Chain A
């Protein structure tokens, strides 16, 4: 879909961006953290709560049937959005973190034993590190790491060596710190060639790119609704049917059972098997609306818009500040998303974000839940500006202007 998009109309779809604080407009540059919500998502959720809220999968009255249809309709939208073969392979979780934990706890415990190797990369989010550390502590599995090049891409020069004998390769499709987009399909192929499973953390990728889990050839894919203009409280695990079918359940309780007796239980079919308890019903409906919204814009258009903004922001900041600003990650916008982590004139990121906040420019300051990567960068923290569909060149300009204020205060 390469229709032209009216990006100012997109911006106008997000009511929070109309907000003024101290008479100044909001420059929201923290979408890699969590994204803002368009009216259609807010309305879908409130309309459902106003007019049709009911339980799913449990009751015989009409309204419960409608709610179940709406909930399953949202699942089907997600399936299509990521080109998954089956809707029942799409499992709703609380967030991407829970999805990662589900994989490590369920598939991992059933299939990994002492000495088995799980390969991660140096640019993973804690969500794709700590569940494996937990399994390592419990099972004695071994973790191996794919290092980075100086440019912030994966160093794949010894990939087959690292993957040799491995059972799992679990990696991010796009770094939330460096913006680096990794060669997902090639990595999935390399994993399979080595006899390993390929798990893709697509939390930063799905909101910004055309996603096709089949052309990737992935085994599991995880992401969160709140980063893709959907609500918080819902995430997605997609897995190949065969794998999910063979896995033991993760959480136990209502909805996930076929039968319960005094001496045991049997599991429900997919996807209920992995959706114990009352699921995030309202959130699923919001996520469905978010998927529709993004689909209407067209994910290829989203990617093009963000590539342009990334180039523009990189050029603007480096032209203006030269060596005073260090922007981490690849320079080539073809292999990076609209995430700019930077160091500026030795000023601590916390102080930078404080000064930017004075101009209503919202950026993240901190370790971005990627402490191993931060150690490699030699920083405790960075400031990070991230762009999305509702940002434009004026937001990059506002960031550049606001940075001046930081130099003034710290007299550097």
Chain B
């Protein structure tokens, strides 16, 4: 059985204890709410898109260490990125969570997961994959709204 240290890496706990980019953005920022029906976690993602760039992002809501740290790291990773890069990052993350096949798409910009790789251990705890992806699915909705 995978150990808890695979799941609760120090960097994850750090983002959980001190989440980055907490808060809200006023309209016209895009906004979407996500729920994890399993545990009742709720998250709201605000994204400010200027031209082709995600110029600002904020996250509010409550959740477990995995959903909150994933949201926090996501917010750091996408701020200042182009929409194409953000989409590529979402894909990379979902590949890491083994819920998307690696598209191996040369047209996609190369992106690095960086800190987010700390969440790799979540895959060994399949029940928690939904926690890790909540913020990401909500982000996609916010970008589409």
| Residues of A in contact with B (beta carbons under 8 Å apart) | 21-22, 348-351, 354-355, 358, 365-367, 371, 374, 380-381, 409-411
Prevailing SS type, chain B contact patch: mixed
- Pick from A374, A380, A409: contact of B4, CB below 8 A: A409
Complex Cα–Cα for A380 and B68 (A): 14
Interface string of B4-34 (1 = CB under 8 A from A): 1001100001000000000000000000000
Query: Would A354 and B125 count as touching, CB distance under 8 A?
Result: yes
Is B107 on the interface with A (CB-CB < 8 A)? no
Is B114 on the interface with A (CB-CB < 8 A)? no
- Pick from B1, B7, B39, B68: contact of A365, CB below 8 A: B39
Complex Cα–Cα for A355 and B62 (A): 19
How many Å from the CB of B35 to the closest CB on chain A? 9
Query: Would B39 and A21 count as touching, CB distance under 8 A?
Result: no
Query: Would A366 and B40 count as touching, CB distance under 8 A?
Result: yes
Closest residue on chain A to residue B16 by CB atoms: A410
Interface string of B45-69 (1 = CB under 8 A from A): 0000000000000000011111010
How many Å from the CB of A382 to the closest CB on chain B? 9
Query: Would B8 and A409 count as touching, CB distance under 8 A?
Result: yes
Query: Would A380 and B1 count as touching, CB distance under 8 A?
Result: no
Complex Cα–Cα for A409 and B40 (A): 23
Known contacts A380-B62, A409-B4, A354 near B39 by CB under 8 Å: no
| Residues of B in contact with A (beta carbons under 8 Å apart) | 1, 3-4, 7-8, 13, 38-42, 62-66, 68, 125, 128, 131
On chain B, the residues within 8 Å of A367 by CB distance are 39-40
Query: Would B63 and A380 count as touching, CB distance under 8 A?
Result: yes
Complex Cα–Cα for A351 and B8 (A): 9
Known contacts A348-B63, A351-B64, A381 near B40 by CB under 8 Å: yes
Complex Cα–Cα for A399 and B39 (A): 20
Complex Cα–Cα for A409 and B13 (A): 9
Known pairs A367-B40, A411-B13; list 15 more (Cβ under 8 Å).
A348-B63, A350-B65, A350-B128, A351-B8, A351-B64, A351-B65, A354-B125, A358-B4, A366-B38, A371-B40, A374-B40, A380-B39, A380-B42, A409-B4, A410-B65
How many Å from the CB of A295 to the closest CB on chain B? 36
- Pick from A22, A350, A358, A374: contact of B64, CB below 8 A: A350
Known contacts A366-B39, A374-B40, A350 near B62 by CB under 8 Å: no
Complex Cα–Cα for A338 and B25 (A): 45
Pick the most buried of A355, A371, A380: most chain B CB atoms within 10 A of its CB: A380
On chain A, the residues within 8 Å of B3 by CB distance are 358
Closest residue on chain A to residue B4 by CB atoms: A358
How many Å from the CB of B68 to the closest CB on chain A? 8
Complex Cα–Cα for A395 and B123 (A): 30
On chain B, the residues within 8 Å of A409 by CB distance are 4, 8, 13
Query: Would A410 and B13 count as touching, CB distance under 8 A?
Result: yes
How many Å from the CB of A19 to the closest CB on chain B? 14
Known contacts A348-B64, A381-B40, A355 near B4 by CB under 8 Å: yes
- Pick from A349, A358, A410, A411: contact of B39, CB below 8 A: A349
How many Å from the CB of A125 to the closest CB on chain B? 14
- Pick from A354, A381, A410: contact of B7, CB below 8 A: A354
A-B contact pairs, 21 of them (CB 8 A): A21-B1, A22-B1, A348-B64, A350-B39, A350-B41, A350-B63, A350-B64, A354-B128, A355-B4, A358-B4, A365-B39, A366-B38, A366-B40, A367-B40, A374-B40, A380-B41, A380-B42, A380-B63, A409-B13, A410-B13, A411-B13
On chain B, the residues within 8 Å of A380 by CB distance are 39-42, 62-63
